Amino acid sequence: MKHHHFILHKPYGYLSQLINNQNKRRNKRLLGELFDFPEGTMAIGRLDENSEGLLLLTTNGKVSEEIRSAKYEKEYYAQVDGIINPEAIKQLQEGVEIGINGKKYKTKPCKAKSITNLDHIPLADRKVRDERHGPTSWLSITLTEGKFRQVRKMTAAVGFPTLRLVRVRIANIKLNCSVGEVYEVNNLH
């Protein structure tokens, strides 16, 4: 059986699923609206409805498991409320305590840094709020784990809630296509 692999720039407001298998999500936008994926295609990892950016899809469950493993880095750009400071960056790098399934969890050390230039990332021109509500800033966070809503929980734990979240890289695959664009590749390694 020939497997298929896809790279997608998931737009804001879409669920990381191809078919609606839950009635409560009847009116939600799904990835299948963006492209005619072959049967058996699955998202590798997820981005919540309010997140955007790089999403890999495959028909090969083994590839999915491998890419979700801790040996592959996932890099996110987070626009946060306020101007992120060096102390908060250091806390993120060392690991912070967040809640996972009602239990306290300390995140693994990660890479984190403030960023100012996003010209190299194909982002939708989407305003998250009015300037009257105060300044925002961007940071890069690179993880080897992927807990539920982890980046959002981490930035909130250091006092800078995430307003916008964009995954820009998985391993050596970088976000380099327009919002909503999908293309097939020979492999994902």
Task: Supply the residues annotated as catalytic.
Answer: 48
Residue matched to tokens 């964009």: 166
d(CA 57, CA 136): 32
3-state secondary structure of 106: strand
By CB atoms closer than 10 A (0-12, 13-18, 19+), residue 103 is: exposed
The tokens for 111 are 């890479």
d(CA 30, CA 48): 11
- Quick check: 30 and 53 in contact, CB under 8 A? no
Report the run of H or E that residue 87 belongs to, with start and end: helix 86-94
The tokens for 169 are 């890289």
What is the bridge-based pairing of β-strands 51-58 and 162-170?
parallel
Residue matched to tokens 């009116």: 27
